[in-house]
Amino acid sequence: SAQFIPPFTEDCRADMYPPNGPTFRAAVGWYTVDLDLPPSKRWTAVITEKKTDLANMIEAIKDLANAFVPSGRLIELVDIALPLMVNTLPDPFGEEIKGIAAASGLPLGEVVLFNIFYEVFTV
């Protein structure tokens, strides 16, 4: 049973595993990241397959940013300033992020933003 007012607590669920029903959307696929490759090449396989979804997610964040700053200045700031920041990031992260931007075709600043979002989100 569940209460129909927030926080919608319900009896502790049972027999949910193996995952099934409306709370289970999909299992998660596997990819290999070869750490023997140069950092800029490690994520190419993953990103080649996921670049459309990545672009969609970053577009959603840009829509949100533009909702706050309609002039587009915020996105400009991200696209101009964050590429300068990527070279300050410790190895191998800066090079890996550049490789992801190259493989996805997305602007480097926006990939940097995605990767430092935890720290930015506190704003």
Partner 1 sequence: CTSVVAEDDKGNLFHGRNLDFGLFLGWDVKNKSWTVSEKLKPLVVNLDFRRNNQTVFKSTNFAGYVGMLTGIKPHVFTLTMNERFSLDGGYIGILEWILGQRDGMWMSFLTRSVLENANSYEEAKTRLAQTKMLAPAYFILGGNSTGQGCIITRSRLLSLDVLEIDLKLGRWYVLETNYDHWKEPLFLDDRRTPAMKCMNQTTQPKMSLKTMYDVLSTKPVLNKLTTYTTLMQVSEGSLEAYIRDCPNPCMPW
Select from 9, 72, 80, 105 the one that contacts partner 1 (CB under 8 A): 9
Among candidates 4, 104, 110, which has minimal Cα distance to 60? 110
Among candidates 119, 113, 108, which has minimal Cα distance to 40? 108
Query: What b-and-e string marks burial along 41-76, b requiring 16 or more CB atoms within 10 Å of the CB?
Result: ebbbebbeebeeebeeebeeebeebeeeeeeeeebe
Residue with tokens 């480097």: 108
Q: Which C-beta is closer to partner 1: that of 46 or that of 74?
A: 46
Site for partner 1, residues 48 to 107, rule: CB under 8 A: 49-50, 53-54, 56-57, 60-61, 63-64, 67, 85, 88-90, 93, 96-97, 100, 104
Based on the shown chain and the rule CB under 8 A, indicate whether residue 46 belongs to the binding site for partner 1.
yes
Q: How many chain residues are in contact with partner 1, going by CB under 8 A?
A: 63
In whole angstroms, how close is the CB of 99 to partner 1 at the nearest point? 9
**Distance separating alpha carbons of residues 69 and 13, to the nearest angstrom:** 43
Binding site for partner 1 (CB under 8 A): 2, 4, 6-17, 19, 22-36, 43, 46-47, 49-50, 53-54, 56-57, 60-61, 63-64, 67, 85, 88-90, 93, 96-97, 100, 104, 111, 114-116, 118-123
